[in-house]
């Protein structure tokens, strides 16, 4: 099995899942404004913020790393990410838990998405 190459660090102090779906046209500027204005957090704190789209098949992660924002994006080919309901509070995860979520695990059930292997897009 291949090891993922670009992933959030397991040692991240805090990871926040933003519960409402966002417009995925937002860049690091729009996402950092959302973190500051809606959550009241400092987007330059080095904590990781995780967002999803309405279909729950894409994830964007945002964090500040020393001198600039890092934006991580993952789009599932088929299934959906398990996400907290809109009535839930802002969810805090560990670095390990966000990696489990990116691997396709339902972090509440610990059941992953099936692994897909394709030869070509067309």
Domain ranges of the chain: 15-102
Q: Which pLDDT belongs to residue 72?
A: 92
Question: What's the pTM?
Answer: 0.80
Q: Could you report the per-residue pLDDT of 38-93, keeping only the tens digit for each?
A: 999 999 998 999 999 999 999 999 999 999 999 999 999 999 988 876 666 678 88
Q: Which pLDDT belongs to residue 34?
A: 95
Q: Which tokens sit at 54?
A: 């309405």
Q: Which pLDDT belongs to residue 88?
A: 61
Share of the chain above pLDDT 70, in %: 86
3-class SS of residue 18: coil
| C-alpha–C-alpha distance, residues 10 and 90, integer Å | 20
Query: Average pLDDT in the 16-20 region?
Result: 89
Q: Look at 116 and 109; give whichever has higher pLDDT.
A: 116
């Amino acid at each position: 099995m291949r090891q993922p190459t670009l992933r959030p660090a397991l040692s991240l102090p805090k990871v926040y899942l933003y519960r409402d779906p966002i417009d995925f046209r937002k860049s690091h500027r729009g996402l950092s404004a959302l973190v500051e204005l809606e959550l009241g957090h400092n987007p330059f704190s080095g904590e990781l913020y995780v967002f999803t789209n309405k279909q729950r098949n894409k994830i964007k992660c945002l964090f500040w790393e020393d001198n600039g924002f890092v934006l991580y994006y993952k789009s599932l080919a088929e299934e959906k990410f398990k996400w907290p309901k809109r009535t839930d509070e802002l969810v805090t995860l560990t670095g390990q838990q966000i990696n489990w979520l990116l691997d396709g695990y339902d972090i509440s059930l610990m059941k992953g998405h099936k692994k897909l292997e394709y030869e070509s897009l067309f």
